[in-house]
Amino acid sequence: MSEELYIDYFSILGLPEDCKTGDVKKNYKKLMKDLLLEIHNISSLTPAELDNYLLKMAMLNAGFYILRDDGRRSNYISHRKKVIELEKKWCEVAEQNPDSQEADRLRREYDRALQDFLTKYMEELVLEAGRDRECVETSNWDPFHERHASRVLRHYRQKLYSQIHERLPYYDVSKPEIDWNERRNFVAKIVKGEYPEYE
Amino acid sequence: MSRKTETKKLVPQETIDIAIAKAVADGDIVNFRFLFLPYSPLREDSTEDINTIKYSYLLPSEEEENSPKFKSALELVKRPDIREHINRQLHKKGPPQLPSELILMLADNAVSQGKYTSASQAYELLRIRIKIQELFFQQGDEELAKGNISNAVRAYRIASELEYDYGAFPEPLPAVPKYQEHALILHGEYKEKWEECIGYLPIQKFLTESFNYLFLRPEHANRILEKSIEIQTEFLVELIHQIDPNWSKFADNVSKTVPILQELYQEIKSRRERIAQGSLWEDEWVEGLDTEKFLEIPKILLGRKISPEEWWAYLKEIAYLHPASPLFLARQMISKEKEIILPRYNPENPVAIALSLPPLPQPI
């Protein structure tokens, strides 16, 4: 099971889980400085690059904001562990008995926990971090960034949710068996106008 | 003593089969999901009756029943394992588990009929939407490498229109083009200098603006922006033609505005000269301009008069009719309170030339 889709602020800041607050600050400042230099060196940003850089800045701010505070850090670690555990538990039960009530209960519980986790650590606290004095000073984050970041963060949060779902047991549809060679042929036929009913 | 008898309506298997096969053949994910809901007329315990006139849209016409699309959908619906799965779900209390084989066929039919929002919902349910989208982009790149621009544009368009709007509130939905809204954003700022107008931007900047405006996500625009300027130009021209088959109508309307534009620019020129001579205050340069005459320009561009006669109202309507047109338009003040929308682009812009847009009067 890959855990990287559950936002890992330690790896975003390049730190181990037992790092000291001083290291958090040091790494954050360095990474943010590098990022701002990188942005500064680009003459004009395309909308895709703009979204990408905004997301990177927001994640660094959030990483610093969450990990530098002991309370926020321990909440984040336990919340993340809980979601990972729930995924594991649900997958195990669903594999043995997919139609059981227990599997359905665990799925609902996991889904709620995942949505809460992503909303809190991929949206709420990220925006909150943007209003933190130290983050504002280091990243020059302003209301303009926040306005655009809300849209970018929401999109990214839901994208993560959907990517996580790709590896989970199927429940609302039966498990599809996809022949990717057949899919490639279908796509080629549609594009070339060879699909019989292409209109 | 009266005896209470429990009446359960009986839905014939054939009706279930053809109703589901029709939704699959039509590529209609909304009807398909509806057929499995607790109040579906296909359920025996539902009070809804499939034979009433309000549900006639769920059943195929005679002509539809003979179509190859319907026949192949019906064949799949009748496959014993799938039929058993369907019946199990129709008798189940609680959320149904939809049969993936049928959803895949439905999605393919939806793509082939250009029903991209339906297709993207079906692929999303199967959790393969992003991979299918990538396959279309890859096919588009292959077609580009072979020099087949028309196929490449078709592939890119399908890929882009299979996009999901994950930022939609309260839940994600298929993304749809919103040219009327985006055109307003494109012209949100009044350009004081001609060279700042979209149609006068250097070609690479113009192409970047164009692709970001016409595609649903900046990532999609980025894919084509990585190619050479020549390919991008050819691609944009073909994209505009595919999005708007009536583009020539817009080009004709632009031609009709040329004489009035000439008059307007002549008027501006003479007023500038008067300002230079000191006989007219700069902030009064629009005083006495024949606004009625120049208000004809947006009407000609759109082909009719609308109310309110505001630049943004015309821009929205024109963008709806001809999605790419805002790339060749600009805002112009004609009085202290009145602005109009008019055609403005560099006559040397290769995209404008390839799209048969007429040469316009030049900046003065």
Which tens digit of pLDDT belongs to each residue from A15-65? 998 899 999 999 999 999 999 999 888 877 778 888 899 999 999 999 999
Q: Where are the alpha helices (DSSP H) in A15-142?
A: 21-40, 47-67, 70-96, 101-119, 125-129, 133-139
Is the pLDDT assigned to residue A109 strictly greater than 60? yes
User: Which of A157, A176, A190 lies at the smallest CB-CB distance from B126?
Assistant: A176
Please report which helix (H) or strand (E) contains residue B76, including its range: helix B68-77
Per-residue pLDDT tens digits for B247-281: 999 999 999 999 999 988 888 888 778 777 777 77
C-alpha–C-alpha distance, residues B262 and B75, integer Å: 65
Range with top average pLDDT, A9-13, B93-97, B173-177, B336-340: A9-13
Please report which helix (H) or strand (E) contains residue A161, including its range: helix A143-165
B36 touches chain A (CB under 8 A): no
Q: How many domains does chain B have?
A: 2
User: Which of B100, B165, B212 lies at the smallest CB-CB distance from A174?
Assistant: B100
Q: Decide if B218 and A48 are in contact by the 8 Å CB cutoff.
A: yes
Tell me the CA distances in angstroms from B241 to A128, A142, B322, one per residue in order.
46, 41, 10
Task: Give domain status of residue A197, yes or no.
Answer: no
Is B8 in a helix, a strand, or coil?
A: coil
Say if residues B340 and B311 touch (Cβ distance below 8 Å).
Answer: yes
Distance of CA B89 to the CA centre of its chain: 35
Task: Give domain status of residue A177, yes or no.
Answer: no
Place B160 in a pLDDT band, splitting at 50, 70 and 90: very high
For residue B70, give its domain range: 13-111
The nearest CA of chain B is from the CA of A5 a distance in Å of 16
User: Which of A155, A161, A175 lies at the smallest CB-CB distance from B100?
Assistant: A175
Structure tokens at A123: 């949206």
For residue A140, give its domain range: 9-167
> Angle at CA B257, nearest 5°, toward B308 and B327?
75
Task: Give domain status of residue A24, yes or no.
Answer: yes
Q: Decide if A174 and B126 are in contact by the 8 Å CB cutoff.
A: no
- Bond before B12 cis per omega within 30 degrees: no
Output DSSP code: residue B113: T
C-alpha–C-alpha distance, residues A121 and A5, integer Å: 12
Give the residue from B60, B84, B111 where a domain finishes. B111
B46 touches chain A (CB under 8 A): no
Please compute the mean of the pLDDT values over residues B287-292 and round it to a whole number: 75
Return mean pLDDT, chain B.
91
Give the residue from B68, B88, B111 where a domain finishes. B111
Q: Which residue in B has a C-alpha nearest to residue A153's C-alpha?
A: B167
Is the pLDDT assigned to residue A198 strictly greater than 50? no
B108 touches chain A (CB under 8 A): yes
Task: Give domain status of residue A185, yes or no.
Answer: no
Task: Give domain status of residue B189, yes or no.
Answer: yes
Assess whether B73 and B191 both reside in one domain. no
Task: Give domain status of residue B150, yes or no.
Answer: no
Contacts of A175 in chain B (CB under 8 A): 100
Per the listing, tokens 């690059």 go with: A49
Is the pLDDT assigned to residue A199 strictly greater than 50? no
Q: Decide if B135 and A184 are in contact by the 8 Å CB cutoff.
A: yes
B95 touches chain A (CB under 8 A): yes
